[in-house]
Structure formats: C-alpha cells, structure tokens
Amino acid sequence: MVEAEPPRRLDPKREAVLWGLLAEGDERAREELILGYRSLVFWLARKLQVSPSRFPDLVQEGTLALITAVDHFDRKRNTKF
C-alpha cells in the first residue's frame, strides 16, 4: 500500500554521512537513503499520473528504480545523486 504523504527530504549533511556508511556496507544507511529520496518518486508520480488509479503503480515502479539507482551509484565518480 502506498503512503499518503512521502517522507521529507534528507538534510545534505545527513545524506553525506549516509553515503559514507553505505560505502562501508551499512544496510540501515541504504534504507534511510531510499526513504529520503522517495519524495522525488512521489513528485514524479504525481507529475506523470494519468489517472488516480495509476498513482500506486507509478510510486511502486519509481521506488524499484530508486532502489536500483542507490545500489548502483558510484560515489567515487564525484557526481550528485
């Protein structure tokens, strides 16, 4: 089931700490990053929504894409996520 409101965006300092922890293999940091970026998923789902019944599907697909992006992001390339 899709939450009514997305979580708030992460503080930039906290986000930097979480990326460092994730590089060390911390699963809780991974989860917190994913939850922190879900606000972007909700924003995009609302923007792309064709009908209200599609909103949960868009959020689900966006969340799966977000998980893949977090798992494959290479912080060493010195780019923003």
Give me the helix-helix angle, 27-48 and 12-23, nearest 10°: 130
Q: Within the chain, what is the greatest distance between any pair of CA atoms?
A: 41
Q: Give the per-residue pLDDT at 5.
A: 60
Report which of residues 49 and 33 the model is more confident about. Answer: 33
Whether residue 60 contacts residue 67, with contact meaning beta carbons closer than 8 Å, is answered with no
Whether residue 46 contacts residue 60, with contact meaning beta carbons closer than 8 Å, is answered with no
Whether residue 33 contacts residue 19, with contact meaning beta carbons closer than 8 Å, is answered with yes
Q: Give the per-residue pLDDT at 37.
A: 92
